[in-house]
Structures are given as C-alpha cells and as structure tokens.
Structure 1
Amino acid sequence: MDMNLISRAVVELGECLRVEDNYLATAESCTGGLLASILTDTPGSSEWFAGSVVAYSNEVKTNLLGVSSEILEKHGAVSEPVVLAMAQGVLKAVGARVSVAISGIAGPSGGTPDKPVGTVWMAWAWPSGTRARLYNFSGSREDIKGQAVMAAVNGLLGVTK
C-alpha cells in the first residue's frame, strides 16, 4: 500500500468535500475500518468526515445499516445489492451526504469458486445517485485491503468532482 499516494488522494478528496460542504460516511466490512483510520489521519478531516460503521458481521449490516436479511440470504454479504444497501444505510445512520461501502473477501481463506479471495464490491452514494462496482484484487490480505481503500478513495473522488 503506497501511503503517500493514498494520502495525496485523501487530501484531494477532503478539498472536494469541503468545497461542496459535504460530509462523508463509510461502511466497511473487509477493510475493518482501515479507510476510516486513513481518513482521520488527515489533518482537518473533521471538517468533512462524519463517521464510519465497521459492519463486519451480517447482524451489524442488518441492525445498524438496514440491509435486509433477505438480500443477505439471497445474494451474500459480498454482493452488489448488499453494498448498495450499506451505502444508503450509512448515510442515514451517520447523517452524511456522501458515502462509500466496502464488502469483500480479503483472505487468505473464505473464497469460493464464485467469489474467490480478492473479490470486493463497493458502492458509493451521494445526493443525486448511487453506483456500485466489482473489483478483483490480488495479493496478501494486507494488499487486498490496501487496494480496496485506494479504490474507495478514487471512487469518492469520481463522485465528488
């Protein structure tokens, strides 16, 4: 994980959010709060970062973020419908205007033929819409989490510019 690259991207993200007077929220599963930690390492982030929910278990996804148990049963936690629901749910839970949700399989175990290690779904929500994207990262658990954080920040830059 190239922390200099991520730090520069986060500073740019903060500037975009501050200009638009938007607050950001994150809903993280496989990254376990790494994104929120990196965001709050940035001086001045309290001006644009509202908070985070680390929704590692399905119960937290359901109880705090409003992801329906039916969606979880039908699609699994690592799926487009779940991250879209997480992104919308964290907006409400935290009171933000922009969000990102991340759910995936960081490994080294837990993968399946349909969803191998490195499979990560992300969704972004903002006042005028939502979008989701599937990623297939590789490397160690740490590598996958770092790649997911960078992709999340890049996606946020895409919806805030």
Structure 2
Amino acid sequence: MRGCGNLIKFIQRNWILFLFLLPFSLSAQNVAMMGDQAITTAEFVWVFKKNNLKRAKPDQSQISDYLQRYIDFRLKVLDALSLGLDKDTAYVREVEAFEKILRTRLRSKSKQEVEFVLNEYRSGVLMFNVSERKIWAPGYGDQATTVEQTEQRERDWVAELRKRFPVRVNEVELGRLSSQKW
C-alpha cells in the first residue's frame, strides 16, 4: 500500500512530464498508424524480413520505401473490411481451410509467427478481392483499357484511402529500425 502512495506522489509531482511521455510510451511499438489501425514494429519487421531476403543491412530509405508499400497494402485491406468482404462466405471458408492446414502442419513455429502467417493470408485474400472490384473489374473486357489506366485507378484509389485513413509514420521508430541489426 505504501509503494502505491509513493507512486501517486511521484505522478502528482511530475504530472507534466508524465503527460508528455505517455503518448510516446504508448506508440513506441508502432511503426505507423492508419486512422486508428496500427502497424506494430514486430509485424513490420517480420514482413520486411520475409520479403527482403538480401543479407545486407537495409538503409533507412529502403525501410521507408517498403513501409510505404506495406501501408498501401494495409489500406486496401482496411477498405475491404469496410466493405464487409471479410464476411463473404467463400472468403470465410477459404480462410478457415487454410488455418486448419496451417495449424496442423506448422507445429514447430511460434504462436506469434503462426498468427503473422494467418493474418498475412487473410489480408492477402482480402486485398486481392477488393483490388478485383476497385482496379481490375472496371476495365475488364474493355480492349481500350491500358496498363497505364489500370495503374492510375490504383493510384487514385490509394490516394482516396490515405484521405479516409490518415497515415502517421512514427519517424523515431523508423529511425530505430534503420539502426538495428538485421
């Protein structure tokens, strides 16, 4: 009980410092936010390492560029969720089947890694489904649709998503990532 009283006195004496540091301590493990959705440092590092097999240490611009591409991916997934595509019965069945197979075959993986793999699979299927609706289907069958027009539709869509879900990158955490051992 006495220790709790000391903590309260400390907070009372240092409340301004406490209020200043609280937001940083809460967001220190997030490399970015999209609206109220976080990209945790652990998730980003796992995805980055999995998709960048080069053994050389990445510099800050490589990490930053990859983070922007990953944010675009996650924004598309958020759009799919807002459209309710995660409730589609075909999607639910596909994800359940994959999860069952994954959980029986990957016994040696850590629980966190299994969750990362499952989340990546769910997100990938959602991103594919929403991209089909937003990018590919509008030009399907139209012989005049060019690759450039399709790419422009995607750029416009991502720009709209960045307005809907404001993106904030934790530059301090990004800097820490670029200085860590990979």
Please state which band the TM-score falls in when normalised by the shorter chain: under 0.3
Higher helix share: 2
| TM-score (ref. length: structure 1) | 0.24
Relative to its length, the structure with more strand (as a share) is 1
RCO comparison, higher one (Cα < 8 Å, 6+): 2
Q: Which has the larger radius of gyration?
A: 2
TM-score, normalised to structure 2, is: 0.23
